[in-house]
Structure 1
Amino acid sequence: MEVAIHSHSGGLFKNLVCGFLYLHRSCFHHGRSKRLLFSRLFPPMNLHGDKEIGVGRSGELTCKSQRLMLQAGLIQPANTGCFHYMPYTVRAMEKLVQLIDEEMKLIGGQKVNMPTLTSANLWKISERWDLLGKELFRLKDRHNIDYCLSPTHEEAVTELVAMQGNLSYKQLPLMLYQVTRKFRDEPKPRFGLLRGREFYMKDMYTFDISEKAAKETYKLVSGAYGRVFDRLGLRFVKVQADPGSIGGNLSHEFQLPAEIGEDRLLMCSDCHFAANAETMKTVETNCPQCEGKLIENRGIEVGHTFYLGTKYSQVFGALHSNSENKPILSEMGCFGLGITRILAAGIEVLSTETDIRWPRLVAPYQICVISPKKGSKEEVCMDLLESLYDNLMDTVPQLQGEVVLDDRSHLTVGRRLKDANRLGYPYVIIAGRRILEDPAIFEVNSQNNGRTLFLTQEGVLDFLKNIQMA
C-alpha cells in the first residue's frame, strides 16, 4: 500500500462549514444536472444477486469473463450464442473502436460500411457458398432469392472495388475497413462473447499494385494491430496460422495467452518462432528455425491477417492501371480484429476471480465516486465530495463523462466498493472517516495496481489530471 497526503490551508471551523453546506445540499445538487448518477444508469447493479453463475441460460459452460460480465450486468443472454450488450459494454466497445480508428487512420485506412445481408450469388462466384456449408446463416427473401448473413466480406468488398472501374496505381494501396455486426452459425456457442453466433468485428481489405507491395502493406497493418494491443496493455503473441476458407498462402493470428484458450500455440524458447499447432504437419518438439525447444500454451485468437494474392480480384475483376496504363489484377490482403472478443479476452486475462479489470483505456468509466452512507458521521460532508466531483468535471477535460457518482447512500460504502470492483472502474474515490479531518482527506483506490492514496481535494485533482486517456 502506498500512502501520500497533500495538504492545503483549511478553515478552523471546517466541520461547522460542512454542516452548513449539508443543509443547503439539495438546492446545490439540483443545480448540477451534469452529474452522472449511478442510480440512473441502466441496468441496476446486481441483477443476478451474489449467486455463482456456472452455466448460461441455454446451458453452455461459462468461463471467468462470461461469469463476471453476467454477474455485473454487462451482458444479458438473448438466445443461444447471442447477447444484449448493456450500456457499460457499449461504452467500452465504442472506446475500443475509436482506438482502432486512430491506428487505421495513421496507416491510411478508409472506413466504409457494407451490408450484412449479402447475395448468395457473390458467394457462389467465389465457390464459398458450399465450402462454408452450415457455418453460414442462410435465408430467402419473398422472391425466393438466396442470401446469407455475412461472417466476412471478401466477396462484397472486391465486387465493390471492381464496380468502380480501373483504379490508377497512384491510388494504391487502397485500404478499406469497417466495424460491423457479423454472424456465424457456431455448432456449440460457448464462453460468452468469446465464441458466439453474433459478434462485432473490424475487418480491413487492401488492394496493391504487386505482391511485393501487398506484403509491405501486410507488415504495415500487422504493425498497427500490434500497437492496438500494446496500447491496451494486453500481452499478445503473433503466430503463423492456417488461412482456412479465407484463402491465400500467408496468414498470422494475434493470440492472447490464456488457459481458457481454444487454440494450441507452439512457441520457441530460443527465438521468435510461434505457430498455431494446427499448422504443423507433424508432431514436433523442436523449433523448425533454430532447433530450440517448442513450448505449448493455450491462446484466445483476437486478430487474424491474410495475404490473399489475386484469389478474389481475379474472380470479380478488381483491376488497376499500372504505370504503362495497362489493366492488371490487384493483389489483396484481409485483416480482422474481434471487437467483442478483445473485450471479453481482456477481461479474461486481466481480471481476478471476483473483480473485473478492463484494459484501462477502454474501461466504460474511469472513476467511481462513492458517497457516504446515509446517517453516517461522514454524511455531513457530502458537499465536499460533490465539490470534488464538480471540480473534476470543470478542471480535467479528459474526464468529461468519465466519472460516476454512486449515490446509493442507503447501501454501505463497503458494499458499493464491492460493486465498483465488479464493474471494473480503474479508480474509486471514497469519502471515508478522514473526510472529517482538517484538511479533508479522500481515499483514492487505484484498482488495476492495488495502490491506495490518501489525498486532499487539491491532491486528488493533481493526481487525476495526469491520467492518460489515449
Structure 2
Amino acid sequence: MEALLARWRALPTLATCRLHHRAPGRGKLLTLSRMFQPQRLREDQVLSLEGRLGELTCKSQRLMLQAGLIHPASPGCYHLLPYTVRALEKLVRVIDQEMQAIGGQKVNMPSLGPAELWRATSRWDLMGRELLRLRDRHGKEYCLGPTHEEAVTALVASQKTLSYKQLPLLLYQVTRKFRDEPRPRFGLLRGREFYMKDMYTFDVSTEAARQTYSLVCGAYSSLFDRLGLPCVQVQADVGSIGGTMSHEFQLPMDVGEDRLSVCPSCSFSANRETLDPLQTHCPACQGPLTETKGVEVGHTFFLGTKYSAIFNAQFASVQGTPSLAEMGCYGLGVTRILAAAIEVLSTEDCIRWPGLLAPYQVCLIPPKRGSKEEAAATQLVGSLQDHIIEAVPGLCGEVVLDDRTHLTIGNRGKDANKLGYPFVVIAGKRALEDPPHFEVWCQNTGEVIFLTREGVVELLSTVQVV
C-alpha cells in the first residue's frame, strides 16, 4: 500500500497534466513521446537495414522505412507500425462504406485452404510456385490463400436452400493474403504477405452478373475518387483466376511494373499484355495510343459459371428449378493502395497522405522548454486542444501533441512535415499577441497561415474524417 501511495504522490499535478490529457472524461491526449515508433533513420541506415533483406528501389519504401511506418521482418514481409495501422484501418472503413453502399456483406474466411478445394479447380497445379503450401502433422496439404474463389464458392454451394430472391449476393472480406513472390520488391507494393479486399458475387443470370460487375467497378472508381488517386480502369488478362472479362485499376507511376496503353481521344485503355505487341492505334477510335507505367491497385473478373459449376453452387429459380449462379470476383490491394498513394503524392523527402487516410489529422507543437513563450503558449495549446474537440467532435482521437519540448519548434516542425500530418499548429512567438495567433501549416496545399483559436477551429471544422 505504501508503495502504491508513493507512486500516486509522484504523479504530475492537474496543471502539469494539461498538455498530456484532455478535459476530465475525455481520455488521454496522444503524445509523441509515448508513441511506439522506431528511431527515424538516415538514408544510409535505411539502405543498410533493407539491404539485408531485399532492395530499396522506390520512394514510398524509403520514406516509410525512414519515418518508422514499417519495419522489415523477412523478405517481402513487414511489421506495420502504429501510424500505418491507423491509416490502414481508415482505408478499410472507406472500403466498407463503398462495398456496403452497393449491398456488400462482410465475411471472414480462413487463410488456410485445404488442397482438395484447389485441386477441384486444378489451380493447385496451375498456380505453380507462387502458392505457399504446407502440410499439417497428419500429412494433410494446405495452402495459404492468395485468393478465395474456391473457398467462397464451396461456402455458398453448402447452402442448399438458396433462393433467387436472395441474389445478387455480394460477399467480401479484408484479410491477409500470401504469395510466394520470386523477387519481393518495392516495400508494400510487392510483398509476400499483404492485405487484400476480395469480393465474390453470385447472380441469377449473365445479364444480372454483368450489371453487378458494372456496379462494383463504379464503387471502385468512387473509392479512388474519394482518396484523390487518379486511377485508370484498363482492360486486362484473366490470368489464373479465369473468366471471360477482366479489368485492372491502375495507378500511373514511374516505378510501375505494368505497361499501359491509353487513348487520349476516347475512354479506351488496356494493359499492353492484352494487345498485339505491334499495335500503336486505338482499336475503338483509331487514334494514336500513348504508353505509361502503372501499379495495379484493383482487379475485377467476370467469372460466369467457372467455379459454380465445379462446386455446384446453385439457387432455386423463379420456376423452382436448380440453376447455377453466375459469378464475379473483385480485389483491392489494401496495403498496396497505402504505399501507392505515398508513392504518387509524396515529395522526395516528405510523406503526403490522401486526406481521409492520414493517421492523425492535426499535430500541435508547443514552445520549446525554457523559451520565453513557454508559460503563456503552453496553456494556450491545452486550451486550443480542448476547444477543437468540443467544437469538432469528429477530431476526437485525431489530434497528436508533439510534447518533445526539449527540441526546438523547427526540429519538431521538420518531423511533422516528413510524417505528413494534414495540419500542423504551432504556438510560436505570435502566440503572445493579443489576441494570440497560431501558425498553421496546411500540408496538402502548402499554405502557411496565422489564425486565432477561433480561426483554427473554423479551419479544422472542414476536415473530413472516416
SS of 2:373's equivalent? Answer: helix
TM-score relative to the length of structure 1: 0.93
The residue number in structure 2 matching 1:13 is none
The residue number in structure 2 matching 1:19 is none
**Are 2:33 and 1:34 aligned?**
no
**Are 2:312 and 1:340 aligned?**
no
Q: How far apart, CA to CA, are the structure 2 residues paired with 1:75 and 1:352?
A: 18
Contact 1:243–1:249 (CA<8 Å) still a contact in 2? yes
The residue number in structure 1 matching 2:3 is none
Q: Which amino acid aligns with 2:251?
A: L
**Are 2:284 and 1:294 aligned?**
no
Contact 1:45–1:419 (CA<8 Å) still a contact in 2? no
The residue number in structure 1 matching 2:431 is 435
The residue number in structure 1 matching 2:152 is 157
SS of 2:247's equivalent? Answer: strand
SS of 1:291's equivalent? Answer: coil
Q: How far apart, CA to CA, are the structure 1 residues paired with 2:89 and 2:219?
A: 18
The residue number in structure 2 matching 1:364 is 359
Q: Which amino acid aligns with 1:35?
A: L
Q: How far apart, CA to CA, are the structure 2 residues paired with 1:62 and 1:30?
A: 39
The residue number in structure 2 matching 1:96 is 91
Match of 1:138 among 133, 139, 163: 133
Contact 1:251–1:307 (CA<8 Å) still a contact in 2? yes
Q: How far apart, CA to CA, are the structure 1 residues paired with 2:228 and 2:444?
A: 11
Q: How far apart, CA to CA, are the structure 1 residues paired with 2:43 and 2:185?
A: 22
SS of 1:235's equivalent? Answer: coil
The residue number in structure 2 matching 1:228 is 223
The residue number in structure 1 matching 2:8 is none
How far has the Cα of 1:431 moved from its partner? Answer: 0.8
Structure 1 segments unaligned to the other structure (5+ residues): 1-22
Match of 2:312 among 313, 317, 342: 317
The residue number in structure 2 matching 1:123 is 118
Match of 1:451 among 443, 447, 453: 447
CA offset digits 1:365-409 (Å, max 9, x no partner): 001001111111221221011110121122211100000000000
SS of 1:212's equivalent? Answer: helix
SS of 1:53's equivalent? Answer: helix
- Structure 1 runs of 4+ aligned residues shifted over 3 Å read 27-33, 49-55
How far has the Cα of 1:50 moved from its partner? Answer: 5.8
Contact 2:224–2:230 (CA<8 Å) still a contact in 1? yes
Match of 2:323 among 325, 328, 343: 328
Contact 2:19–2:381 (CA<8 Å) still a contact in 1? no
Q: How far apart, CA to CA, are the structure 2 residues paired with 1:202 and 1:226?
A: 15
CA offset digits 1:419-450 (Å, max 9, x no partner): 11121111100011111111111011000110
How far has the Cα of 1:26 moved from its partner? Answer: 1.4
Higher RCO (C-alpha 8 Å, min separation 6)? 1
Q: State the identity as a percent.
A: 64
Match of 1:148 among 132, 140, 143: 143
The residue number in structure 2 matching 1:411 is 407
Residues 1:52 and 1:299: Cα distance change in structure 2 (over 3 Å):
farther
How far has the Cα of 1:53 moved from its partner? Answer: 3.4
Contact 1:253–1:301 (CA<8 Å) still a contact in 2? yes
Q: How far apart, CA to CA, are the structure 2 residues paired with 1:412 and 1:74?
A: 23
Residues 1:296 and 1:28: Cα distance change in structure 2 (over 3 Å):
closer
How far has the Cα of 1:166 moved from its partner? Answer: 4.0
**How many residues are treated as equivalent by the alignment?**
447
Q: How far apart, CA to CA, are the structure 1 residues paired with 2:358 and 2:128?
A: 38
What is the 5 A alignment of 1:22-421? 25-26=15-16, 28-29=18-19, 32=22, 34-46=28-40, 48-49=41-42, 51=44, 53-54=46-47, 56=50, 57-381=52-376, 382-421=378-417
Contact 2:317–2:323 (CA<8 Å) still a contact in 1? yes
RMSD, aligned α-carbons: 1.4
SS of 1:377's equivalent? Answer: coil
Residues 1:24 and 1:247: Cα distance change in structure 2 (over 3 Å):
closer
Q: How far apart, CA to CA, are the structure 2 residues paired with 1:150 and 1:30?
A: 44
